[in-house]
Each structure stands twice: as structure tokens, then as C-alpha cells.
Chains A and B, each alone.
Chain A
Amino acid sequence: MEPAEYDDEHDDPDEARSAEGDDGGAEEEETRRPRSVYGVGTEPDVRFSLANERTALAWLRTGLTLVAGGVALTTLASFGEGNEVLDIIAGMACLAGGVLALAAISGWRRRERALRLGEPLPAPRILPVLVAAVALFALAMAGYAVYQVVT
């Protein structure tokens, strides 16, 4: 798990910081939140922690994309009459975006805890849900298109 070019002399961040004269390290450790994450385990390699943060940010942006898509669909629906389906889809997209944002922060917590405890990284819980939602959405849209053609 240790990446290439890693400096073995500094694999314990606390030790390294105290060696560099950082007296506020222990105090800072106490004030770090959330305690459910930083109150357990030991400090992991900071690169993994930063990668975890970037993953959470990427999920947040995915949620934001869904929200923006939903708002764009609302605008599209307002151009004409009888676009209730578009409004419903827009509402669902906005809702899903919000849920995805919450899942992003929950996933960050779980991964950070696992990193600190030296446990295997947990499987992403939201990914299967997202895949199922996209598949259901595709089926629903196909059904709607067939319905429009038939009627």
C-alpha cells in the first residue's frame, strides 16, 4: 500500500512533527473534528487522507451536477405546456443531488476511519444505488418515449 518514493524516515506524522518542534500538535489533534473520525486510530499517510478528501469532493461535484441538471430541466419544462414529466424528473434529480452530497460526506467519514484504524477500505455504498437509479431512469424514459409514440 505504500507508494513509491515514500520517505521511510517520516512515516509517523506525529513523531515527525514533534521532532520539528511543533508543540501545538497534540493540542491540535484534540480539537480536530469530527471526533468520531479523529478520536480513533493513528494518523495515516497524509497522501491517502488527501486522496480521500478529493474523492469526497468529486462526489460532491457529481451531486452538484445532478442539481444543476435538474434546474436546467426545470427551465426547459417552463418553455411549454404539458411538461409535467420533465418537472418530476427535475425534482428527482435535485433530490438525488442532495442525497449524493450527504453520501459523499458519509463516505469520507467511513474511509477516513478505516484509514486511521488500518482497516480495509469500505466498499462504496452509494455507487450501486447510483447505478440502479440511472438504469431505472433509462427504463422509465424509454417507457415514456414508447408511450408518446403510441399515443
Chain B
Amino acid sequence: MKTPVTTAGLEGDSGAQPQRTMLSWHRTVLSVTLGTLVVSLTAQRQEHSIIAAIAALAAFALLATVLRSLRRWGPYAPARWDVLRLTCGAVVVLGGMGLMLAMANLLG
């Protein structure tokens, strides 16, 4: 019978660190998804249908990818870096979309 793998250092952990970190991930993913939908709705309201469509599709793709990556998440798992980089990229892209909306509003 295979011995279950445990993470060293967490045996006496009274702070529930992995659970807190996972909750933090969930909050972040939820925030990014909602942020993307807000950008999408704002773009739709301002009649920038392409930005709206891209943002909506990005929200769906991001949610699916990150949730899939988070299934492989663990204190020593390689997926930690992938999902962190992906989420960071999503926020940067969102910032770019917001900037585009502001510029379009300003110039239009």
C-alpha cells in the first residue's frame, strides 16, 4: 500500500496554511473573472463590441484554465508558478483593456 505523501512542516500546522492559500487563490480567481466581466460589460455599453467579446471569452478561458491548474496545485507542485504567471498575465491584459477603453472614450 502506497504511503500517502504529506508536506513536511505542516504536520503541526495550526494555521491551516494550504487551506488559507487555496482560499486566497479562489478569491483572486473570482475577482479576476468578475473584473473581466465588468470590462466586457463596460465595453459593450460603450459599443466596443470587439473588446467586449474578447474580454468575455478571456473571462471564460481564464476561469477554465486556472481552475484546471489549481487542481494540480500543491505546496511543492510545479503548477504553482504556472497559475501565478497566468493570473498575473490576466490582470495585465485587463489593465490594457481598461486603458484601451479609457483612450477610446477620450479620443471618441
Contacts and interface: CB of A to CB of B under 8 A. Distances in A.
Contact of B88 (A5, A37, A102): A102
Main secondary structure of the interface of B (DSSP, over half): helix
Given A68-B35, A71-B101, A17 B5 contact: yes
B32 A64 contact: yes
A13 B17 contact: no
A66 B91 CA distance: 10
Given A46-B76, A47-B17, A49-B75, A71 B39 contact: yes
B78 A33 contact: yes
A17 B8 contact: yes
B68 interface: no
Most buried by B among A51, A75, A94: A94
Contacts of A71: 35, 38-39, 42, 98, 101
Given A10-B9, A64-B35, 20 more contacts: A28-B77, A46-B9, A46-B10, A46-B76, A53-B24, A57-B87, A67-B95, A68-B35, A70-B99, A71-B35, A74-B46, A77-B102, A87-B105, A88-B102, A90-B98, A91-B103, A91-B106, A97-B91, A105-B85, A108-B84
